[in-house]
Structure 1
């Protein structure tokens, strides 16, 4: 990575910090160090870790690769290809973790958990068998879900090659958008951070609402089942009197 590129990174980080940069700025600096040391492969490692640790947002890592490409550290094509490779590699790790867990093992685990049953796992697997292709493809473009969607794909035993094709296609679209944003914005890459944080916050709020809805519904169902099971005792028959 050239001195000019590193200077651009430093300037961008300072601007982001002045405008209230958070731990995402630290993450961006770490990504810079990786790319500075091993080139575009560093971006692949950072994006791969995003798959394994969802709190690491690829929406911040990817523009950094685009910025490096705009400064001539490597080509734009290399930035997109290497980051997509990192996405697919990380996704396959979680995919095979899901295959190892399996539906039966998850069902036994769910039966021991409060408010969740093994039937929930069975229904989820059946749903994924019908809609898994759409879920994997579009799931690669949704924060948090883009990582976690690989696990149910493995649990449902989606064909490994089909999973790979869908993951590659979805990741290529997602990565290209943010790498291009960093490439075009240059030193103003931190603008992407604002939208990335907002997008991720929206997703978190939606997930939180869905979790609350699930818990409330399940508690109501349990109370209704208990009330039905604790009905009035049957009156003694005439023969027993």
Structure 2
């Protein structure tokens, strides 16, 4: 009597007789998607996303141009994915800093440290954001602005926990968050354009600027400025003299 036929073995077998696929279809797709994103970052180093072609990216990755559409609908769609990828980890780490370091000084020092480390480890991503913020396609510019606004909102929410609600209005917390994030964006762009040995000088200057900003904010009382703001809103401008 002949032994029963055995099914073909796919993948690699591991102890216990179970077969393990070398790589799933989903894993291969994710690896190719990541390769496309990395290639776009490299190709955009000396130009903007608007000058990038689908064929350039496909050639860099080693895939046929039509395979690009299995991952992204267009170059603009690829740019949107890069924006999301660039901000995701930074936003998460900045949130963690604010929730584990309740002291203002610790928050300042840790936030700048996180920013500098991200600029070093993800330099291509931050350089991409810095370029596309002003030179990218409209949808990508809007996505970057949206991500920066998300950072501001998250910061304003955390600042509300650290400040006295009797002294600070929601509107003023938003203004403070905007000032801080604007400073962080400027620091990032300064680091990207500087030599490596100048990074710490830039970082220390940013820490000093943030301390000065927060020292002033500790004396702020929203209620003291509400009346002047209301007055400014209802007082008509006087016509200039002819």
TM class, shorter-length: 0.3 to 0.5
Rg comparison, structure with higher value: 2
Select the structure with the greater relative contact order (CA < 8 A; seq sep ≥ 6).
Answer: 1
Question: Normalising to structure 1: TM-score of the pair?
Answer: 0.34
Question: Normalising to structure 2: TM-score of the pair?
Answer: 0.34
Higher helix share: 1
